[in-house]
A and B are shown apart, each in its own frame.
Chain A
Amino acid sequence: MGKRVLLADDDQLLASLLNFRLKKGGYEVHHSANGKEVKEYLKNEMPDIIVSDIMMPYFSGIELIDYVRNDLKSKTPIIIISSAGNEQNVLTAFELGANDFVTKPVSPTELLVRIQREIYK
């Protein structure tokens, strides 16, 4: 079985492309478009890696990192997707325990390389 990726992003367009590429790369993808759903999912299952947008409805990427690291006490790697010019958010994310980040527009190839690096570190 392929490694499991949780993809949390409310941008359907980007999510579709990433979903497509991750599956092609042999990953199993669970995609969710809002923070609430992500939280529910994580209660029952812990993927091998989490890829999350910072800006999401109901539950932001920052809150997600906090939840995974402090509430669930999980060390699952987290890669965040940030918009250009949002350096402050990226710093906060790193402080809370994010492992890596990519900036929009996201290159799927680059993201795949980063995912691979985190999983097989």
Chain B
Amino acid sequence: MSISKTKDLLGQLSQLESTVSAFSFEELNADQANELKSSFNSFRTSLEKHIYTPNMDEIVANKMEVTATNQQDISEKQFITQVSHEIRTPLNSIIGFANLLKEEKLTKGQHKKVDAIQFASNTLLKLINEVLDYAKISSGNSKFESVDFNLHSLLKDVMFLCETLVLDRKIELLIEIDENVPKIITGDPSKLSQILLNLLGNSVKFVERGFIKLEVFTKQRNDNAFLLEFSVADTGIGIPKEKMDTIFNGYIQAADDTCKKYGGTGLGLTITKEIINKLKGNIEIDSTVSKGTTVRFRLPYLQGNIATLPNKSIKKAKHNFKTELLAGTEILVFEDNKMNECLIVEQLTKWGCTVHVDTDLDKGLYVLSTKKIDLILMDLKMPGQNGFEVSRAIRSHKNAKVNSVPIIAFSADFTQQDSEKCKEIGINDFLLKPYTLEDLQTTLLKNKENKIEQTEFLSILQKPMIEPKETTVVDLNLLLKDCFGEIDMLSQLVKLFKINAIEFIGNVKIHLKSGNLKEIGLSAHKLKAGFAMIKAEGMRKLIVELEHSCKANELEKVKELYEVFLNDYPLLEDNLSKELEIMKKK
């Protein structure tokens, strides 16, 4: 069942594909445009691979027939999890970039097209969510909605999306709704729009000139039960007779020749037919080569009630972003996918946040201890690093400034086990990819408030315990004199000093791995002078000791001293920044 739903995705996908390729990328910089396109392509390829791997359907079908034993249950879930991750991650980028695009200065036409991308990708997301809903899969119920909806506005939305697809072609889009078609009906609106988009999308593909026409009328009526007939007619290339028999078996053909044929053979029709059958309707096709094609389908609906329609104004109020609340928030993001990094940095920066991105635990810890980080966003499934382990290391860090920062994990898939692990480690919240801007914002705000409470608590606790540690003391007065009192020069030197210290940390990290004490000694030697300049006598002594230990080839001692350095340096840098700030004010 899940696999047939996955197949449904393809119809949406081809829709999204045409939209993405029809989009004019002039207003984007080349990188963004390429990212969007390549993201889409990788998305498509991975989806196709999963769906069209020969026998995959059989395998899953067999599994479904045999009453599920535990083992089968597990492997099925694994399969779904894998697909889920691969689909969600790129879809996240598509939705995210579309959102960002909308905030830029676009022409009217471009704006419409971005709307179309959003509409299509949101539909796709909805479907994916259904496919991946573990509860539904394990209970084996494929549910169809039965809600009241406004048929006319659904048709309007669908036509609008098609219009954006044919903007640059000489095609007339026509719609005719018979008077006797009720406005409000009860049924599954998302399935209907999916069917219509599949059919209209096919027409758009094959029509060069002429028209595409959607007609709707009531075929039968029995009290409040309707049988509606929809027809999509076009002046496209048509379908040869010999192919008419197999047209609804598109995906069997595609299985032989996987992706190639899928592009043009109306695979959408197979999907469409499946859905229509499930909705207890029927479909037929009529076509003449080089004249055109007409597809008719009939679906049963019930008369709907206008009073039960969801109130749109409530929905709108929800989308009112309170971005000003996030301004000034400093966020550390652990993410090693360039695309996602680019996306999240842009999103957060737009809201006035300061963003640091790291892939590496050590660098991250360094940022955490030297900057005032309000929140951590953690990608759990980074290829090179395990987000759980990174989170664990942060939580078990000695420095309260580091270990108390709220962590929000995000991932494209998330199991019950993951959730327990998060709790155990102390991860505060969770975002499932793809997330909407609203999701992201709500989660950030919620956890930022947590942080405020936490820090107040911590500062009360810590105040009486703070005693200046010798290794963290600095004095910039002499250096300021050397700079003839020029604060800008002093700032520049402090900045250089910090860079040197970071380089030192990096160098030691590399050379500790290979046990190259000579290089570490050299690095320590270079750093020493800097500590002398800022009168950090305690830390300078530690570095001198470290340099000597290197010369004496005492690896364990070097490691020990470096640990102390790593722990104390951030505090020293804090003091350095504070003192500089005070001097600036004077």
Contact = CB atoms under 8 A, between A and B. Distances in A.
A16 B496 contact: yes
B177 interface: no
A48 to B, nearest CB: 23
B500 A13 contact: yes
A92 interface: no
A21 B485 CA distance: 12
B525 interface: yes
A14 B533 contact: yes
Nearest to B522: A55
B525 A83 contact: yes
B482 A13 contact: no
B533 A17 contact: yes
B457 interface: no
Contacts of B529: 11, 13-14, 83, 104-106
Contacts of A24: 484
A103 B66 CA distance: 83
Nearest to A55: B525
A107 interface: yes
Given A55-B525, A104-B532, A105-B529, A12 B500 contact: yes
Contact of B482 (A10, A12, A55, A108): A108
Chain A interface secondary structure, helix, strand, loop or mixed? helix
Contacts of B497: 13
B530 A13 contact: yes
A82 to B, nearest CB: 11
Interface centre among B483, B486, B500 (most CB of A within 10 A): B483
A109 interface: yes
Nearest to A20: B489
Interface residues of A, number: 18
B224 interface: no
Contacts, number: 46
B313 interface: no
A63 B496 CA distance: 28
Chain B interface secondary structure, helix, strand, loop or mixed? helix
A36 B530 CA distance: 24
Contacts of A55: 525
Nearest to B500: A13
A66 to B, nearest CB: 22
A17 B483 contact: yes
B122 to A, nearest CB: 51
A11 B526 contact: yes
Contacts of A10: 526
Contacts of B29: none
Contact of B533 (A21, A105, A109): A105
A13 B533 contact: yes
B492 interface: yes
A104 B543 CA distance: 14
Given A13-B493, A13-B497, A20 B483 contact: yes
B540 to A, nearest CB: 9
Contact of B493 (A16, A105, A106, A107): A16
A74 B480 CA distance: 37
B482 A105 contact: no
Interface string A14-53: 1011001100100000000000000000000000000000
Interface in A81-118: 83, 104-109
A29 B224 CA distance: 93
A10 B527 CA distance: 12
Contacts of A105: 529, 532-533
Contacts of A107: 482
A41 to B, nearest CB: 22
B289 to A, nearest CB: 75
B496 A109 contact: no
Interface in B201-243: none
Given A12-B496, A13-B496, A83-B525, A109 B532 contact: no
Nearest to A14: B529
A86 to B, nearest CB: 10
Nearest to B478: A107
Contact of A17 (B482, B499, B528): B482
A113 B500 CA distance: 28
Interface in B466-516: 479, 482-484, 486, 489, 492-493, 496-497, 499-500
A76 B121 CA distance: 73
Interface centre among B500, B525, B533 (most CB of A within 10 A): B533
Interface in B517-564: 525-526, 528-530, 532-533
Interface centre among A17, A21, A24, A104 (most CB of B within 10 A): A17
Contacts of A106: 529
A12 B526 CA distance: 10
Contacts of B500: 12-13
A83 B528 CA distance: 10
Given A12-B500, A107-B482, A109-B482, A17 B525 contact: no
A109 B481 CA distance: 10
B498 to A, nearest CB: 10
Contacts of B486: 20
Nearest to B492: A16
A11 B533 CA distance: 12
Contacts of A108: 482
A105 B497 CA distance: 14
A58 B525 CA distance: 17
A104 B493 CA distance: 16
A22 to B, nearest CB: 12
A83 to B, nearest CB: 7
13 contacts: A10-B526, A11-B526, A11-B530, A12-B500, A13-B529, A13-B530, A14-B529, A14-B533, A17-B479, A20-B486, A21-B484, A104-B532, A105-B532
Given A83-B529, A104-B529, 7 more contacts: A11-B530, A12-B496, A14-B530, A105-B529, A105-B532, A105-B533, A106-B529
Nearest 3 interchain pairs by C-beta:
A105-B532, A13-B496, A104-B529
